[in-house]
Structure 1
Amino acid sequence: MKQTYGVPALISFFIPGLGQLVKGQILKAFLIWALGGVVGFLLAWTLIVPFLIWAWNVYDAYNDPA
């Protein structure tokens, strides 16, 4: 049975990377913050790429085992 993580996904929905941090994935949380910050800064004129990073973040927090 595949385990999912609803609370980390909910937390990541509001603050990207925090769900991974709650699950103990410190490096992944830092990479989400760094990548999101850089991409958000460089591609602020588009909504697609930052939205995709955010959506992947929530999906990863929900499905990826700790």
Structure 2
Amino acid sequence: MKPTYGLPALLSIFVPGLGQLIKGHILKAFLIWALGGLIGFLLAWTIVVPFVIWAWNVYDAYNSPA
């Protein structure tokens, strides 16, 4: 039985992409790590863009089907 809601969202709060990974969405987790990390690094000075990426990551971990 795969975790479906709370645990993946909670894990994604601390490690972006981990919630998607434990749900079995390996490609999505990798893209969050690679693209989210790169975009977050390049646009860290904006503060808003990395926060939006992080918030979307938590929302997706909670709402995507298992």
2:7 paired residue number: 7
Q: Does 1:33 align with 2:23?
A: no
Amino acid corresponding to residue 9 of structure 1 in structure 2: A
For this pair of structures, how many residues does the alignment match? Answer: 63
Amino acid corresponding to residue 50 of structure 1 in structure 2: P
Structure 1 position 16, deviation (Å): 0.3
Paired residue secondary structure (2:30): helix
- RMSD, aligned CA: 0.9
* Structure 2 residue ranges without an equivalent (≥5): none
User: How high is the sequence identity, in percent, across the aligned residues?
Assistant: 81
* Structure 1 residue ranges without an equivalent (≥5): none
Paired residue secondary structure (2:24): coil
Amino acid corresponding to residue 56 of structure 2 in structure 1: W
Query: For 1:47-62, what aligned pairs fall within 5 Å after superposition?
Result: 47-62=47-62
Cα distance in 2, alignment partners of residues 50 and 44 from structure 1 = 6
Paired residue secondary structure (1:7): helix
Amino acid corresponding to residue 55 of structure 1 in structure 2: A
Structure 1 position 44, deviation (Å): 1.5
Cα distance in 1, alignment partners of residues 22 and 65 from structure 2 = 12
Cα distance in 2, alignment partners of residues 58 and 8 from structure 1 = 8
Q: Does 1:43 align with 2:43?
A: yes
